[in-house]
Chain A
Amino acid sequence: MDIFSQIRNSSQWVFYLFGLIALLAYPSFANNFFVFQIGALSLILGMIALSLTLLAGYGGMVSLSQMSIAGLAGYFLALFGESNAVQSLQLAPIIAVPAAIILATLVASFFGLLSVRTEGVYTIMITLAVGVATFYFVQQNYVIFNGFQGLSGILPPTVFGTNFKDPVPFYYVSLMCAVLAYVFVVSLIRSPFGVALQGIRDNPRRMKALGYNIFLHRIVTHSIAGALAATGGVLLAWFNGFVSPGIVGVDAMINILIIAVIGGLNHPIGGFVGAVIFILLQNFAIDLVGSDRFRLLVGCVFFLIVIFSPNGLIGVGSKILNWAKKRPKASEDKMGMEVIKVDDV
């Protein structure tokens, strides 16, 4: 490691430190609406988008079913834990939450199993089909999922007299989960597992020849991303207080893709950047285009980003930074390693 990258790494640490302090201090200068509706929701959707970033940016598998996993985790939470549903088991949160996350992770692994033997655009097709089928299933099934109405009365627990439904405690719970998920993903992509995953993304045949079980590697990535999305899904169910088919609908599935792509798929922070932009647009689009045409606006933003900056806003940001520093266009990837392009044999 040369001296320049050390300096850059140290400036990165300063950046992270200030970011964390700002996030921790945020509730002290923001009102409840900004803490809960904007802050907490951005962190939750950012986590679900982060799971997509891991799959798409580092595994080369653009999965549209991450929202389905998150939504199913919410459903499972309502079915295992305390809720208004008659078919609910009414277990204590300490059992219900892990059970919901584990079951949703198993579902994610199964979805992964279905899609990993195909590549590229097939993954989008299959995960979209699987996700839409999930939506129609929870909408049509009344015995377990209560059909169109969904399940309601999902409340976060009260621990040591702190009610986690209150905006500020809920924000801190979301922040804790989001930071843990972020740190986890950042260390995962630098671990041998993550490096091998990127190798599989770039050249599956070569990785296979090196002895990696690429299908298993991809399925495990689906499981890990599923666990992240499921955690976000539990928080989202607490945030809304209910789960309904709309939560796993096509619009919601595409929203997660839009968030991840707007932010940028080539860095774990992208999902969170995209989520903040998306939530701000959602809440304040009324002033721009009227609340009815929000999806038109978001569709256009997504369109422009995909066409002009495939790396999202992070890509735009780094382009501006590069231009400001008058540095030659660095051919480095996010890990600071030189990308060596070798043609496929």
Chain B
Amino acid sequence: MKIHKRKVSAIVYLIVLALFATFAAWAITDNKNLFVTVSMNGLTIAALYFLVAIGFTLIFGLLKNVNLTHGSLYLLGAYLGYTVADLSGSWLVGVAVGTFGVGIVGFLLQVLVFRHMQNQELQQALVTIAISVILADLMLWGWGSDIYQLDPPDWMYGAVAIPVIGKYSIYKLFILGFSISVGLGLWLLLNKTYLGVMIRAGVDDQQMLSAMGVNVHVVFALTFAIGAAIAGLSGVIGGSLMSITPGEDTRYLLASLVVVIVGGMGSIIGTALGAILIGLSEQYGLAYAPTYGVIFTFIIMAAVLIARPQGLLGRE
């Protein structure tokens, strides 16, 4: 049965690849420049989605908490980063405050709220919805419904020459590189440090870890803080790429959800794969079929859910 299943999924992957190759061949002969630009934009968006979703999947992996405040934490990071960068005149200070500020908010949420309802996954999910409603309105209160735009520092501004399309924004390339390094950093943290060992042990068996004398509450709170901090960080990074408005929390919550549904919960590589699929399909959709763009994202999600409910690289 196993081999048969594998054969089927190999065939499915081949068909999908063939379809994509046909599309790419058509798009390249049609307009090479457009196709490469759209692909690069897709990868940039994928990098941003990966950054947002990796915190979400980290928190779920250990705490089994579907943190639906994740979009709000992203937006909070963006607003904090904007305000601080505006006041201090330094983008990097904005990044630092956005990251640590939201990290602290995450830490407090875990310690004050979620810690008291462990193993009640449904109640936790409902509480995160309540908190996201409250946070969304507080942010609307504090920052209004204006549109903000963060400017990255001068040395990231402008464009650099790359093959085929000529020029491409340095900042977008920076996001790509940065997101890959965050992914690598997180992988190193999880696989090569003592905290990582404890987090992975906690994913597998919380009670055992606790019995070994590890204070799991501290591990949980730190994990939540790291996940939230990455959300805040991506808020500042994303807020410098696109605008910061009240509806963005929903957009990035959806992105995180779809990316981890497609890629598989709790897997860094799965999250990367999901982010690339969703980022590319979204940008191709916007460029080649403007009013049906979302449908592609939806079809990918639906196909994965029907074929592999646990996600492409999720554990069974």
Interface residues of A (CB under 8 A from B): 62, 113-115, 117-118, 120-122, 124-126, 128-130, 132-133, 136-137, 140-143, 147, 250, 254, 257-258, 261, 292-293, 295-296, 298-300, 302-303, 306-307, 310
Q: Residue of B at shortest CB range from A298?
A: B133
C-alpha gap A122/B121 in the complex (Å): 10
C-alpha gap A302/B133 in the complex (Å): 9
C-alpha gap A143/B295 in the complex (Å): 14
Counting CB contacts under 8 A, is B281 at the interface?
no
Counting CB contacts under 8 A, is B225 at the interface?
no
Within 8 Å by CB of B305, from A126, A250, A257, lies A126
C-alpha gap A124/B123 in the complex (Å): 11
Counting CB contacts under 8 A, is B230 at the interface?
no
Given A129-B261, A257-B129, answer yes or no on A296-B121 (Cβ-Cβ < 8 Å).
Answer: no
Counting CB contacts under 8 A, is B292 at the interface?
yes
In the complex, chain B residues whose CB is within 8 Å of the CB of A124: 66, 68, 122, 125
In the complex, chain A residues whose CB is within 8 Å of the CB of B234: none
Top 5 A-B residue pairs of the complex, sorted by shortest distance between their CB atoms: A299-B133, A303-B130, A299-B134, A296-B137, A117-B309
In the complex, chain B residues whose CB is within 8 Å of the CB of A140: 290-294
Counting CB contacts under 8 A, is B306 at the interface?
yes
Q: Residue of B at shortest CB range from A147?
A: B291
Counting CB contacts under 8 A, is B141 at the interface?
yes
16 contacts between A and B (CB under 8 A): A114-B306, A121-B122, A121-B124, A125-B261, A129-B258, A132-B257, A133-B254, A133-B297, A140-B293, A143-B291, A147-B291, A292-B141, A303-B130, A306-B123, A306-B126, A306-B130
Given A114-B302, A133-B301, A143-B291, answer yes or no on A300-B134 (Cβ-Cβ < 8 Å).
Answer: yes
Given A296-B138, A306-B126, answer yes or no on A121-B306 (Cβ-Cβ < 8 Å).
Answer: no
Q: Residue of B at shortest CB range from A139?
A: B294
A261/B126 in contact, CB under 8 A: yes
Counting CB contacts under 8 A, is B136 at the interface?
yes
Min CB–CB distance A41 → chain B (angstroms): 20
Min CB–CB distance A248 → chain B (angstroms): 12
C-alpha gap A306/B128 in the complex (Å): 10
How many residues on the B side are at the interface (Cβ–Cβ under 8 A)? Answer: 41
In the complex, chain B residues whose CB is within 8 Å of the CB of A254: 129, 133
Within 8 Å by CB of B294, from A117, A137, A143, A299, lies A137
In the complex, chain A residues whose CB is within 8 Å of the CB of B257: 125, 128-129, 132
In the complex, chain A residues whose CB is within 8 Å of the CB of B137: 293, 295-296, 299
Min CB–CB distance A123 → chain B (angstroms): 9
C-alpha gap A307/B117 in the complex (Å): 9
C-alpha gap A114/B298 in the complex (Å): 11
In the complex, chain A residues whose CB is within 8 Å of the CB of B66: 121, 124-125
Min CB–CB distance A154 → chain B (angstroms): 22
B130/A299 in contact, CB under 8 A: yes
Counting CB contacts under 8 A, is B219 at the interface?
no
**Residues of chain B from 119 to 159 with CB closer than 8 A to chain A in the complex:** 121-127, 129-131, 133-134, 136-138, 141
In the complex, chain A residues whose CB is within 8 Å of the CB of B121: 120-121
Encoded as 1 (CB less than 8 Å from any A CB) or 0, chain B from 272 to 303 comes to 00000000000000000011111101100110
In the complex, chain A residues whose CB is within 8 Å of the CB of B131: 299, 303
Q: Residue of B at shortest CB range from A114?
A: B305
C-alpha gap A49/B28 in the complex (Å): 49
C-alpha gap A292/B64 in the complex (Å): 34
C-alpha gap A141/B253 in the complex (Å): 21
In the complex, chain B residues whose CB is within 8 Å of the CB of A62: 122, 125-126
Q: Residue of A at shortest CB range from B127?
A: A306
In the complex, chain A residues whose CB is within 8 Å of the CB of B292: 137, 140-141
Counting CB contacts under 8 A, is B90 at the interface?
no
